[in-house]
Chain A
Amino acid sequence: MTPPRSGLRPPPPPGGAASGPAEPAPRRQLGWTRRSLCTAVLAWPCLAPAQAFDLKALMQRLGQRKSGEARFTEERIVSGFDSPLRSSGTLSFAAPDRFVRQTLQPVQEAAELQGRTLLLRRGGRTRQMDLDAVPEVASLLDAMRATLTGDLAQLQQHFRVELSGNDAKWVLLLTPQEARLQRQLRQIEVVGQAADVRSIALQLAGGDRSLMLLEPVTPAR
């Protein structure tokens, strides 16, 4: 249901309040968030102020989950290709900074993100690389990980973040801030329900796009 306007106060996490990964972001971010929320509200006339859904509260709520796993199916529409490219697999994350995208079809491969280190596994080979060194890959993986772990500060480092909808269906619109990223990526649209992310849609600057649908394996707590 629509949360009260004052924002959604999260229930205390099971293991004690101070240990959560989203905790470091707190007070100083607040003013900033409110301001960007105001901007979002002004820029989006269809969103009535009464329905404003607190971004910080949502991220905190997402951040309370210490781990999660979801099956995904992905469809990519790439110009020059006759049919969509389809793939499926699992996404999983574990606080504070682990995120794995495991593709099972059509070929097995995995991208494991731990901190700033990325491990790519393909056909029995492993490559380790530095996330900072590959911004093209980093922006997307960072955005997904930050959304799943509720790391608002990380998200806002590269994206303008706009939230709409309500608890039953919220939409997080991520628009790249940096010119270089804008040349590649138009926007990312994350749709969710309560504390679950249900789909991630990507629009590239060149017109290619993809839609990833998620089915949680572990239900929201």
Chain B
Amino acid sequence: MMATPAAAPPPHRTAVLVVWALLLAAALALIVRTPFTADLSAFLPAAPDARQKLLIEQIHSGLPSRTLLMGITGGDAAGRAQASRTLARALRDSGRFDQVNNGDTDGWAGLGQWLFEHRYALSPAVTPERFTPDGLRSAMAEAMSLLGTPAGDAIKPLLPRDPSGETQRIAESLIPARAPRSEDGVWVARPRPDGTPRALLMATTHAAGADLDGQMAAIATVRQAFLPLQAQGFVLQLSGAPVFSVDSRARIEREVHWLASAGTVVVSVLLLAAFASLRALGVALLPVATGVVAGIAAVAAGFGSVHGMTLGFGSTLIGEAVDYAIYYLIQARVDAQGRGGWRQWLADSWPTVRLGLLTSVCGFVALVFSGFPGLAQLGVFSVAGLLAAAATTRWVLPALMPQGSPGMGLRRPLGRAARAALAVLPRLRWPVLLLSLAAAAVLWQRADLWRADLASLSPVPRAAIQLDEQLRADLTSGDSGTLVVVQGPDVQATLQRAEAAAERLEALVDRGVLGGFDSVTRFVPSVATQQRRLAALPDEATLRASLQQATQGGPLPAERLQAFVADVVQARQAQPVTPQGLKGTAVAPLVDALMLRRPDGSAAALLPLQPARNAIDTAAVQQALQGLPDVQLLDIGTELGGLYQRYLREAQGQALLGAAGVVVLMALWLRSGRRLLSVCRPLVLAVLLTMGALAALGVQLGILHLVGLLLVVAVGSNYALFFDLLNQPGAATLDDDMLASLLLANVTLVISFVLLATSSIPVLSAIGRVVAPGTVLALVLAAVFAPRRPAAL
């Protein structure tokens, strides 16, 4: 039996194995040096238009991507306030944060000092009229209007140097329209019937939003700084984009490991049962491992980084690639008559497997050309993985096991069960057709089937989102996610344009259309504006004369305002401040947060809008900004939604193209309309029934469901083709072992996707929940609609 020529090992087997091992090692070396990402950036377009570019800039490095939200619970109110101060101080001292805010005004001392020193360049009230006797009189009256109230304590010490109230004027422009509640001098949650009392803090990391390692270090700093407070019974609540990104990366990493090991173990047990041979098991897993490694390496080479989702998807390749091995090991076995072996398999079955491979690849190639790196990664991964797995099956497996797998294991009962099922299944034709009609009817009714949004791709767990919403409601209720973006070729041009935009927005605030807005020009006006203000300051003699007149009979005599005169005289000589000259000052983080300076010298000023009541009237803002050059209104929520819709439309087109490619390929191969129809029928019905079931269950379909459906077509076509080809005259008989291999291949595939369906990461579970039932249906329906060949049954 061993000596039959058919079963002799292939020539060059050593060379084949060496080449394979070298390729594998090279791929592994590439993977080891590739970073691995988990943020949403993979779902942003690779070739964005100008608007999308702004959006991406915001997502990568914008303030929200760097902002940590913190809550402190436990203890009493005074204790929490103290804990908040302790934590804020520790974080400020750590140097890892650009800003740490807990409502404590002490944190602003440096900024206040800076603003005070530059008040004559920064205050919009500085005009020549302001320093006439009348102007000074009314300015001083206004500046003193809060004296004698609790708010006056902060103002009184400033008056001798700033009687016209420029500091107040600047501070007034910086008051946010919506701000957290303040108690005991620190931010606290607003009292709610069901709310936990907590102190609140907000910190902006120095590390960029995309720098996950930097974010992770910042989070560790917070936890470390909180340890002594934890010992006192306080509890830290931590949220915000950095936490989500870092946690998601860790979760995806954990989940991918778990899925890969669980998938491997379950499939191994199944293979062991089927082959009753450890060697067969080891060999069967080789195409899988090679495929996964090749897939990751291809993505690493093509994209420079691998997204966590791609890796999670990789575990599905286990189920798909192991099919090739199963077909080979079962179908290449040498039977009692000495027939079989690798040569026989290459002649009989390889063309079918190859066609199945090509249809699968065809399905995924469509994704490779996606404008979104996330989807393109899935395509590249799957194409490379499948090709590598098939190549391993074609060349490496014959070199290792030229006679297939000798053991029988549970294959015989499996085959018998399959044959029994095959006899019954065709009776289900009419019920299946009726059910499909019902599914079509359900789909027809659910016009809103594709309603999932970008958030559905987010792997953040529900509880974390709830905590984030609670903290956000108290900390950033004024943050509408809408901002005006002003761009210019250089910093000064951008600042001047931002001043023009701010003037228009100011009018909206006065009319009550907006609650308020932030602008970098309140900290650093353009040089032109600053020069105009400083030039408006009078000389010493004029000022003294005006002051004498203005203070006549007033509560504050001119003699006590010598420091004011000195300050004005000094300010006249001052140089304007520029964003470039602010490095290291207390105002620098605020300026950096509100203005992006690009390497090419151009800049973008961001003016976040705060709603007057609930929502921003974007139409009114749009209208107010009309005619200003390079000014755009950006609503991040809407833009992201639009992006996802474009993404979804593109993916739908690609999935259809992929499916069409599969059909064309099969048509070319089959060269018969009747046969093509019989192969496509189970596929179409499987897709229809799967979608119908999801629709009936009220699932919102998204991009990942779509990818899953494509996978059902790509993989399911293999089963349908097998039934078709085995029913052709002259093909090998459809024996129990052949049936067992089909069934086993399907079961392993389904198991790996069932595991995926149980994942806590929505991206992965969505794929699993489509492919697991879809491929079972594809196999069963292929059997239901298999052409009858009485001779074989």
Docked complex Cα distance between A139 and B103 (Å): 17
Q: Which of B139-147, B288-296, B532-540, B541-549 contacts A (4 or more CB under 8 A)?
A: B139-147
- Chain B's closest residue to A130 (CB) is B179
Flag if B175 contacts A82 (CB, 8 Å): no
B516 close to A130 (CB less than 8 A):
no
Within 8 A of A (CB), among B327-367: none
Query: Which one, B145, B148, B175, contacts A129 given CB within 8 A?
Result: B175
A184 to B151, CA, bound (A): 9
CB of A122 closer than 8 Å to a CB of B: yes
Interface membership of chain B positions 475-516, coded 1 if the CB is closer than 8 angstroms to chain A and 0 otherwise: 000100000000000000000000000000010011010011
User: Could you say which interface size class chain B belongs to?
Assistant: 35 or more
| Binary contact readout B744-777 vs A (1 if CB under 8 angstroms, 0 otherwise) | 0000000000000000000000000000000000
Could you give, for residues 420-446 of chain B, a 1 whenever the CB lies within 8 Å of some chain A CB and a 0 otherwise? 000000000000000000000000000
Nearest-neighbor residue (CB-CB) of A181 within chain B: B150
Contacts of B515 in A (CB 8 A): 128
Q: Which of B142, B152, B172 is close to A78, meaning CB atoms less than 8 Å apart?
A: B152
Whether, in the assembled complex, A46 has its beta carbon less than 8 Å from a beta carbon of chain B, the answer is no
Contacts of B147 in A (CB 8 A): 76, 78, 81, 85, 208
Say yes or no: is B28 at the interface (Cβ < 8 Å to chain A): no
Count of residues in A whose CB is under 8 Å from the partner chain: 43
Name A136's contact: one of B150, B183, B516, B610 (CB within 8 Å): B150
CB pair A137 B151 closer than 8 Å: yes
Q: Which residues of B contact A8 (CB under 8 A)?
A: none
Given contacts A132-B190, A180-B185, contact A78 B176 (CB under 8 A): no
Interface-centre pick from B148, B154, B178 (highest chain A CB count, 10 A): B148
Q: Tell me if B180 is interfacial: C-beta within 8 Å of chain A.
A: yes
Q: Is B684 an interface residue (CB 8 A)?
A: no
CA distance A15 to B269 in the complex (A): 80
B555 within 8 Å of A (CB atoms): yes
Interface 0/1 of A184-212, CB less than 8 Å to B:
11000000000000000010101011100
User: Known contacts A78-B148, A106-B141, A210-B148; is A85 also within 8 Å of B555 by CB?
Assistant: yes
Contacts of B557 in A (CB 8 A): 82
The chain A residue sitting closest to B478, CB to CB, is: A130
Residues of A within 8 A of B138 (CB): 106-107
A129 and B177 form a contact (CB under 8 A): yes
Q: In the complex, which residues of chain B have a beta carbon less than 8 angstroms from the beta carbon of A122?
A: 142, 172
**A residues near B177, Cβ cutoff 8 Å:** 127-130
Task: Judge whether B172 and A120 touch: CB under 8 Å.
Answer: yes
* Other-chain residue from A83, A123, A130, A208 in contact with B148 (beta carbon distance below 8 A): A208
Asked if B510 and A126 make an inter-chain contact with CB atoms under 8 angstroms apart, the answer reads yes
Give the shortest distance, in Å, between A63 (CB) and chain B (any CB).
22
The answer on a CB contact under 8 Å between A128 and B612 is yes
Q: How far is the CB of A78 from chain B (nearest CB, A)?
A: 5
Tell me if B555 and A208 are in contact (CB < 8 A): no
Bound-complex Cα distance A34 to B158 (A): 46
Q: Is B89 an interface residue (CB 8 A)?
A: no
A178→B178 contact, CB < 8 A: no
Q: Does B617 contact A (CB under 8 A)?
A: no
A84 proximity list for chain B (CB < 8 A): 555
Give A82 to B555 CA distance when docked, in angstroms: 5
Contact of B145 among A87, A133, A137 (CB under 8 A): A87
**Residue A124 CB within 8 A of the other chain:** yes
The answer, yes or no, to whether A35 is at the interface (CB within 8 Å) is: no
Find chain B residues with CB under 8 A from A127 CB: 172-173, 175, 177, 509, 516
Q: Contact at B148–A135, with CB atoms within 8 Å? A: no
Give A139's nearest chain B residue, CB to CB: B150
Question: CB distance B179 to A185 under 8 Å?
Answer: no
Per-residue B-contact encoding for A136-178, CB less than 8 Å = 1, 0 else: 1101100000000000000000000000000000000000001
B184 within 8 A of A: yes
Q: Given the known A-B contacts A83-B555, A87-B145, A107-B138, are A133 and B179 also in contact in the complex, defined by CB atoms under 8 Å?
A: yes
Query: A137's closest neighbor in chain B, by CB?
Result: B151
- Does A109 reach chain B (CB closer than 8 Å)? yes
- Please, how many angstroms separate the alpha-carbon atoms of A76 and B149 in the complex? 9
Cβ contact within 8 Å between A78 and B141? no
In the complex, which residues of chain B have a beta carbon less than 8 angstroms from the beta carbon of A181? 150
A18 within 8 A of B: no
Are A82's CB and B149's CB within 8 A? no
Q: How far is the CA of A122 from the CA of B182 in the complex (A)?
A: 24
List residues of A (87-114) whose CB comes within 8 Å of B's CBs: 87, 103, 106-107, 109
Scan B594-622; emit 1 where CB is below 8 A from any A CB, else 0.
00000000000000001010000000000
* Cross-interface CB contact of A209 among B148, B190, B612, cutoff 8 Å: B148
Closest B residue by C-beta to A138:
B182
Quick one: given A132-B190, A180-B185, are A107 and B151 in contact (CB under 8 Å)?
no
C-alpha gap A124/B147 in the complex (Å): 21
Assuming the A-B contacts A83-B555, A137-B150, are A109 and B516 also in contact, with contact meaning beta carbons closer than 8 angstroms in the complex?
Answer: no
> Is there a chain B Cβ closer than 8 Å to A221's Cβ?
no
User: For residue A109, which residue of chain B has the nearest CB?
Assistant: B145
- Would A129 and B179 count as touching, CB distance under 8 A? yes
**Distance in Å from the Cβ of B313 to the closest Cβ of chain A?**
46
Residues from chain B with Cβ under 8 Å of A78 in the complex = 147-148, 152, 156, 555
Contact (Cβ within 8 A) A77 B148: yes
| 9 A-B residue pairs with CB within 8 Å | A76-B147, A109-B142, A120-B172, A125-B172, A128-B177, A130-B478, A132-B179, A132-B181, A137-B149
B residues whose Cβ falls under 8 Å from a Cβ of A: 103, 138, 141-142, 144-145, 147-154, 156, 172-173, 175-185, 190, 478, 506, 509-510, 512, 515-516, 554-557, 610, 612
Instruction: Using A85-B144, A132-B182, A133-B180 as known contacts, list a sample of 7 further A-B pairs with CB atoms less than 8 Å apart, ordered by residue number in A.
Output: A76-B148, A82-B555, A126-B512, A130-B179, A130-B181, A180-B185, A210-B149
A-B complex: 7 closest residue pairs judged by Cβ atoms: A76-B148, A133-B179, A132-B181, A81-B555, A106-B141, A184-B150, A128-B177
